[in-house]
Amino acid sequence: MLSNGHTEASGVIFHIMRFSLHDGPGIRTAVFFKGCPLSCWWCHNPESQSFSPEVLYSVDRCRLCGDCAAICPHGAIERTGERMTVTGDGQLCATCAAACTAACGAEARSVAGRTMTVTEIVAEIERDVVFFDESGGGVTFTGGEPFAQPELLEALLHACRARRIHTTIETCGAAARESVLRIGGLADLILYDLKILDPARHRQYTGGPNRNILENLEALVAAGRPVTVRIPVVPGVNDGATDVRAACDYLAPLGLTRVDLLPYHRAGAEKYQRLGREYRLERTAPPPAAAMAAIAAEMEAVGIPVKIAG
């Protein structure tokens, strides 16, 4: 409770990463919001998709001691072969205080997601202000989807603006237009993910439609917001000739100042195992440098300013 009698904004955050170099200009602190309306097959933060806290389990760390099972308030953990598994409704983990993670001396269990207030988050951000000042950096609100927790995002943007901290929002664009335009207008930069132009294939690989995503991007550009489009290049998903041509035809008229191509990587694949979920791109390899260069060249030929992320 604040001194004026109002309740302080809070939300679920699953990670705060200091000294990030890939989420906007300079050295940045990345604040990861939990919860996303999409579930992209290549998502390297699968723990970001659910809006509830989740327990991750590393079988290679587990000593099979049974301490987690003994303390579980739901009696929902049991030994199955060489691992301790959650039985029954896995959503039970979202309703308890994750006592099993505290009981695990081997640190085989960890919880992703905890409720934090604006004051708590800003205190973490301010630890790195000296690095922001020296490098032209700041804070990036990412996820998950920051616009899915609009009250928290707006309060954080106001707090950072008051402290003259550069702010960036990384978004998939699947959010209410009013929130995207109004709250997005408080940020110094918006990193906007553009995945697949074909509506049916977008729904297949992300779990959601893309019409509102495209309309929100167009609205941001029309409003003069500082937007950098980011395209994750996923072999076999959106790197075909038809996909690249569609991206060129769509992006060229927007007059963007920058488009980033992000090569697919497998950095988050292990997390799916820890969540007990299938990684659906198990056989997909990162795109070759030559393939990335060819896509960039095709976009540059129609006047799109492109950078390949390294």
Q: How far is CA 24 from the centre of its chain?
A: 14
Same domain, 35 and 140: yes
* Confidence (pLDDT) at 256: 97
Same domain, 76 and 189: no
Instruction: Look at residues 112, 127, 147 and tell me which one is the last residue of a structural domain.
Output: 112
Instruction: Look at residues 112, 131, 151 and tell me which one is the last residue of a structural domain.
Output: 112
| Degrees to nearest 5, angle at CA 184 with 183 and 188 | 120
pLDDT, averaged per 10 consecutive residues of the chain (310 residues), comes to: 67 95 94 98 96 89 92 89 76 72 90 94 97 96 97 98 98 97 98 98 98 98 98 98 98 97 94 91 97 98 95
Rounded to whole angstroms, how far apart are CA atoms 207 and 203?
Answer: 5
* Confidence (pLDDT) at 74: 86
Same domain, 248 and 297: yes
SS3 73: coil
* Full domain range(s) for residue 83: 54-112
Rounded to whole angstroms, how far apart are CA atoms 160 and 186?
Answer: 10
CATH code of the domain containing 64: 3.30.70.20
* Cα–Cα distances in angstroms (integers) from residue 214 to residues 137, 218, 247, in the given order: 28, 6, 11
At residue 171, what is the residue type?
T
1 inside domain: no
Same domain, 106 and 218: no
* Confidence (pLDDT) at 305: 98
